[in-house]
Structure 1
Amino acid sequence: MAIGLPPSSWCADAEVRLKDLGRFLGWRDNMLVGYGIVTGLAGSGDSSRHQATRQALANVLSNFDAAVGPEQLQSRNVAAVMVSGTLPPSAHVGDKLDINVTSIGDARSLSGGTLIMTPLRGPDREVYALAQGPVSVGGFRYDANGNLQQKNHPTVGLVPAGATVERQVVSPLTLQDGQIVFLLKDADASTADRVAARINETFGTGIASLRDAQSVAIRAQGGAAGLAAFVARVERLMVMPDWAARVVISERTGTVVAGGNVRIGAIAISHGDLRISVTTEYSASQPGLITVAGPQVRSLVIGNSELKVAESPKTVAATFPNTTVGDLVQSLARLQVSTRDIISILQAIKAAGALYADIMVQ
């Protein structure tokens, strides 16, 4: 079934906020990672074969003046894990972060465990956050006497607000020449030119200039104190992006997604359906007059084949002038053409050179 709006209601020229089209250079998230242990597991942790877990637990106990060697630790209530999180560019000291916890040993489940204080480091090996807290696992695993029941992945968990920022990241937006750079998510020279034109129209001629198909250089105003306010005003500007002509087809689900402005040349379509099937039925012929079976007496298997040819009465023959993909799909839907047949028709139109867009098959 095709669902759509009449062409007159399409928002092909809808304006979008500038902050939804891209980001400013230097304004980015930062990846954090750490190595720690989860305790309190009900016998579902790492086995004694995992030397790294026993060594990590011995190191933790040594911080509390407990002289215990790794060879003395045989508990399965502990699991070695990797802890990861994302530090936003606007994070301040004391802010809370969500973190992910994943097992790196042979633990069966992290359900019910608690992450012991783990430092989270950035690519520069500096500690930016400390993580600790109960692990929330959206699954389970129970096994006994050879029986196993498992749901989802019990060796992966989440600690909501489990990390505290200990070091702030400085994300400078202004370059050495006093400019800030806006980067588009999708490189497009037409959209970048419209962004520069809208900024110059709002703040004055010469404020913004096009650097390439993805970036626009903007001369910052207001000094260091007013930079945040100036960036906020730029983000709120409305710009009409230039959409690329593209048709996305999902053959798994039979879905067709296309922009309302994707054009199709004048075409004629003739689409029919012919189905051929061969059905074979097997039956066994058992001798009924022979009472004593011998090595030369056996059943006879007989196969009867039937050939069936069925042609669908819904043969479509239609001519379309210069139109759009949306009009074509709606017209074919009114003719009761299935979605998968519409996909085949669009692929054939592209091969014929009448579809002025790129087809992406998923």
Structure 2
Amino acid sequence: MKGIFLILAMLFSTVFAEATPVRIKDLADFDGVRGNDLVGYGLVVGLDGTGDSMRNAPFTEEMLAGFLERLGVNVTDDALRSKNVAAVIVTATLPEFARSGSRIDASVSTIGDAKSLLGGTLVMTPLKAADGNIYAVAQGSIIAGGVSVSGDAARVVEGVPTAGKIPVGARVEREVSFDFSLINNIRIALRNADFTTATRIEDAINRDFRRQIALAHDSGTVIVGFRQLGQVNPSRVLSRIENILIQPENRARVVIDHKTGTIVMGDQVRISRVAVSQGNLTLKVSEALQVSQPNPFAIGETITVPRTYAEIGDEPGIGFAEVGSEASLGDLVEGLNALGVRPRDMIDILKSIHSAGALHADLVVE
């Protein structure tokens, strides 16, 4: 049993670095310059007995029968007994400005009771976008991300053998109709909306081009009217803008991951004057059976009587730990390293400080 007294808790090791300028391309996305998600439904063949059970996955049976019929092979339901086939969902991302004939990566995941995709080959699968049109076709050998070994009484799985990838396994068949040269302005969408960052981007662009072409529309959008520069190539203007350096501003935030016990805190986090004391309680419960029997020659019977012993212990504390008003991140980390606090205890203390209104930051619990 160990008592812990501290002010604030953070991650075990924290790396301190001076704030450095960041390129606009690393802080924001540009309107019209984005990928599109694709999805398809297909079959994987060539599995070593690790495919779908046809009776447990009727959709696999139906799709295999339809596929064979399109190839001119007539089969009946009773003839489909193979366990070397698996139904899969195929996903991919169509990059911005992808052209017909270019190749992209594809991901494959089972949807039936197949145990592994190792050694399998994806049969030609059309990939559709949200508009229902086919934009790519995927086919090729699958690289699975795990291994599965099974016997009569046990099975060992390492990684995820029911999912894999096909590097450059999809070919683009249709292009997204978007003419970048016809746009009149560029909208810059910040990944983390912040008014200060948006105005800094506006000032940096206007300063670099030496005229007022950028306007911070809101905390997440900056509009650049580059047509004021005359007949210029939008791609060259965007190339110049995305490499401009600015100093981003972020909200103070503390992120807690309960599953791993990880706590990450930004350098803008501050706490008001507060005192914290935390102790550990230990509850011990033991059970014992006591036999009760009658005296010799007495009328009665022998019985077993349960007995429960409970004890609660509390480690004596050393008092409250106190921090001055507006403590900085360095002060908090210094106190943490001196006390050797565990991450699980840090989480409880951070929540308590936030509930008390002394933690001036957004508390995000995942």
- Shorter-chain TM range is 0.7 to 0.9
Residue number in structure 1 paired with 2:174: 167
Over 3 Å counting, the alpha-carbon distance change for 1:63 and 1:179 in structure 2 is same
Match status 1:137 vs 2:144: yes
Residue number in structure 2 paired with 1:32: 38
Over 3 Å counting, the alpha-carbon distance change for 1:272 and 1:78 in structure 2 is closer
Amino acid at match of 2:20: A
Give the 3-state SS of the residue equivalent to 1:137 in structure 2: strand
Over 3 Å counting, the alpha-carbon distance change for 1:268 and 1:155 in structure 2 is closer
**Deviation (angstroms), 1:30:** 0.7
**Deviation (angstroms), 1:38:** 1.4
Aligned mate of 2:125, from 118, 132, 143: 118
Aligned mate of 2:163, from 148, 156, 159: 156
* Count, aligned residues: 354
Aligned mate of 1:305, from 282, 306, 309: 309
Q: Percent identity?
A: 37
- Correspondences of 1:202-217 after superposition (within 5 Å): 202-217=208-223
Assess if the C-alpha contact under 8 Å between 1:284 and 1:300 holds in 2.
yes
Greater mean alpha carbon deviation, residues 65-74 or residues 295-304: 295-304
Amino acid at match of 2:49: G
- Correspondences of 1:166-245 after superposition (within 5 Å): 166-173=173-180, 176=183, 178-220=184-226, 226-245=233-252
Residue number in structure 2 paired with 1:347: 351
**Deviation (angstroms), 1:295:** 11
Residue number in structure 2 paired with 1:96: 103
Over 3 Å counting, the alpha-carbon distance change for 1:106 and 1:197 in structure 2 is same
**For each residue in 1:2-41, what CA deviation from the matched residue of structure 2 results, as whole angstroms up to 9, or x when unmatched?**
4346xxx652x43211011111011111111222211112
Amino acid at match of 2:41: Y
Whole-angstrom CA distance in 2 between matches of 1:258 and 1:31: 33
Match status 1:327 vs 2:337: no
Calculate the aligned-residue CA RMSD, in Å. 3.4
**Deviation (angstroms), 1:155:** 2.9
**For each residue in 1:138-182, what CA deviation from the matched residue of structure 2 results, as whole angstroms up to 9, or x when unmatched?**
234455545444444433222222112222334444675x11111
Residue number in structure 1 paired with 2:93: 86
Structure 1 unmatched runs, 5+: none
Match status 1:250 vs 2:261: no
Aligned mate of 1:3, from 5, 13, 17: 13
Whole-angstrom CA distance in 2 between matches of 1:54 and 1:243: 53
Whole-angstrom CA distance in 1 between matches of 2:341 and 2:115: 51
Over 3 Å counting, the alpha-carbon distance change for 1:136 and 1:10 in structure 2 is closer
Assess if the C-alpha contact under 8 Å between 1:272 and 1:314 holds in 2.
no
- Correspondences of 1:263-342 after superposition (within 5 Å): 263-265=270-272, 267-273=273-279, 275-280=281-286, 282=288, 284-285=290-291, 297-298=301-302, 300=304, 303=307, 305=309, 307=311, 309-342=313-346
Residue number in structure 1 paired with 2:361: 357
Over 3 Å counting, the alpha-carbon distance change for 1:201 and 1:73 in structure 2 is same
Amino acid at match of 2:331: D
Give the 3-state SS of the residue equivalent to 1:83 in structure 2: strand
Over 3 Å counting, the alpha-carbon distance change for 1:239 and 1:172 in structure 2 is farther
Of the two structures, which has the highest relative contact order with CA contacts closer than 8 Å and spacing of 6 or more? 2
Whole-angstrom CA distance in 1 between matches of 2:149 and 2:345: 47
Amino acid at match of 1:201: R
**For each residue in 1:91-116, what CA deviation from the matched residue of structure 2 results, as whole angstroms up to 9, or x when unmatched?**
23332211122223343433222111
Whole-angstrom CA distance in 1 between matches of 2:127 and 2:78: 28
Over 3 Å counting, the alpha-carbon distance change for 1:34 and 1:224 in structure 2 is farther
Amino acid at match of 1:116: V
Greater mean alpha carbon deviation, residues 54-63 or residues 254-263: 54-63
With structure 1 as the length reference, what TM-score do the two structures score? Answer: 0.83
Over 3 Å counting, the alpha-carbon distance change for 1:129 and 1:44 in structure 2 is same
Greater mean alpha carbon deviation, residues 347-356 or residues 61-70: 61-70
Give the 3-state SS of the residue equivalent to 1:156 in structure 2: strand
Greater mean alpha carbon deviation, residues 307-316 or residues 20-29: 307-316
Whole-angstrom CA distance in 2 between matches of 1:69 and 1:63: 14
